[in-house]
Amino acid sequence: MMEGQRTPIESGCPDGFQYMHPLMRKNFGNWAYHEDPRPGVLTHTAHSGDKIHTVRAGTQRILDLFTLRKLCEIGDKYADGFIRFTIRSNIEYMVSDVNKVDPLIEALEKAGFIVGGTKNSVAMISHTQGWLHCDIPATDASGVVKAMMDELIDEFKNWNMPNRVHITTSCCQINCGGQGDIAINIQHTKPPKINHDLVANICERPSVVARCPVAAIRPALVNGKPSLEVDEKKCICCGACYPPCPPMQINDPEHSKLAIWVGGNHSNARSKPSFQKLVAAGIPNNPPRWPEATAIVKKILQTYKENARDWERLNDWIDRIGWPRFFELTELPFTKFHVDNWRGARRTLNASTHIRF
Ligand code: SF4
Ligand code: SF4
């Protein structure tokens, strides 16, 4: 290091190898195949002949210290002292001795954790931050996940689905959230309400104007103060202006609804990516149990389970039967609002970051 240069501050993820089970370190990059002996358990076999068994249990993601300690105690007592978390908030314990699998599952279940979520089950819902620690959510995420997984517990614990099902949530309309077989997303239905007294103090107006994808925001002078105005005929109620400008309040207990999209899938070795499509809109955002959204998700899952062929993912099944049949089978109403062919996109969508007034 050159003289006078400060020492870099190392932050970010630590090296994962130090936390890995020794058998995983030894066989890194040399796994031959895996088997699924029972729901919630994976057995990986390496080219060397070593076998490692993984037991997966769902967690609530936002973990309190006591639950985390409990999970670690179980890992120290019944597993080999190594854990990891998956992106869907499952905890996984790795053991080298197959005889440890059953006592480990028993200990987890006795402590109230649910083992499952592998192969053709409904995996844990991947969820966003929600009311707990994001600044723009219109609904919760942990709450939706808890309410829905309570109803889907048997689908998590068993292999009843034609193929795996990934469900995602998104508590605003624009940021994290995800692409999934079934996605539960916020849908705003009214343009933002502007608090003109605060805009000049809080918002950087050019960046808010540039944020709008349909160029519906203009600078304006209101009561002698610099503010913004929204062309409500153009506004698509996306909520993109709200994060950089909190006085453009778009969250509303009545008009921020939930929408359900289906058929999203990332590309893999066998297929191209598929984009999820809207199938239900205007669903009440109804905490703490969101019964209306849960009922629709359950209906879609039930229909998929009864009608799809083995190994068809939700998008494969819909591709085979077609959208009209999907709506018939699930008894979801199909309206003109489901049709969006983006014909106007080139003309109306603000596709660059240049500021337009
Ligand atoms: S989906 Fe939106 S509101 Fe929810 S955590 Fe992500 S950014 Fe925040
Ligand atoms: S950013 Fe979205 S919500 Fe805000 S004015 Fe533009 S279209 Fe409407």
Residues 6+ apart with CB under 8 A from 281: 187, 257, 259, 260, 335, 337, 338
> Percentage of residues in the chain with pLDDT exceeding 90?
75
- pLDDT band for 177, please (50, 70, 90 cuts): confident
Supply the DSSP symbol for 95: E
- What is the per-residue pLDDT for 337? 73
Which pTM does this prediction carry? 0.89
What's the Cα-to-Cα distance from 196 to each of 73, 191, 219, 241, 242, rounded to whole Å? 54, 15, 11, 14, 14
Report CA(225)–ligand 2 centroid distance (Å). 21
Pocket of ligand 2, candidates 173, 231, 237: which has the most ligand atoms within 8 Å of its Cβ, to mutate?
237
The rounded mean pLDDT for the chain is 91
Which residue has a Cα nearest atom 6 of ligand 2?
Answer: 212
Provide the pLDDT for residue 350: 58
- Model confidence at 345, pLDDT cuts 50, 70, 90, reads low
Q: Where in 99-148 does DSSP place strands (E)?
A: 114-115
pLDDT at 355 (0 to 100) = 52
Residue 168, pLDDT > 80, answer: yes
- The half-sphere exposure of 72 on its side-chain side, counting CA atoms within 13 A, is 7
pLDDT tens digits, residue range 24-81?
999 999 999 999 999 999 999 999 999 999 999 999 888 899 999 999 999 999 999 9
Distance 343 CA to ligand 2 centre (A): 19
Which atom, in ligand 1's list, is nearest to the CA of 186?
1
pLDDT tens-digit readout, 244-293: 999 999 999 999 999 999 999 888 787 888 888 899 999 999 999 999 99
**Beta carbons within 8 Å of 267's beta carbon, 6+ residues apart:** 273
3-state secondary structure 212-232: CCCCCEEEEEECCEEEEEECC
Give the list of residues 6+ apart from residue 46 with CB closer than 8 angstroms, or none. Answer: 23, 26, 27, 30, 31, 32, 52
What's the burial of 167, exposed, middle or buried (CB within 10 Å: 0-12/13-18/19+)? buried
Q: How far apart are CA 265 and CA 244, in angstroms?
A: 30
Whether ligand 1 lies within 6 angstroms of the CB of 107 is answered as no
The tokens for 142 are 């942990």
For strand 248-249 and strand 193-194, is the pairing parallel, antiparallel, or unpaired? antiparallel
pLDDT of residue 268: 79
1-17 average pLDDT score: 77
Q: Could you give the CA distance from residue 90 to residue 170 in angstroms, rounded to a whole number? A: 19
Tell me, what amino acid is at 256?
A: S
Q: Give the other-Cβ count within 10 Å of 313's Cβ.
A: 23
Residue 184 alpha carbon to ligand 1 centre in Å: 12
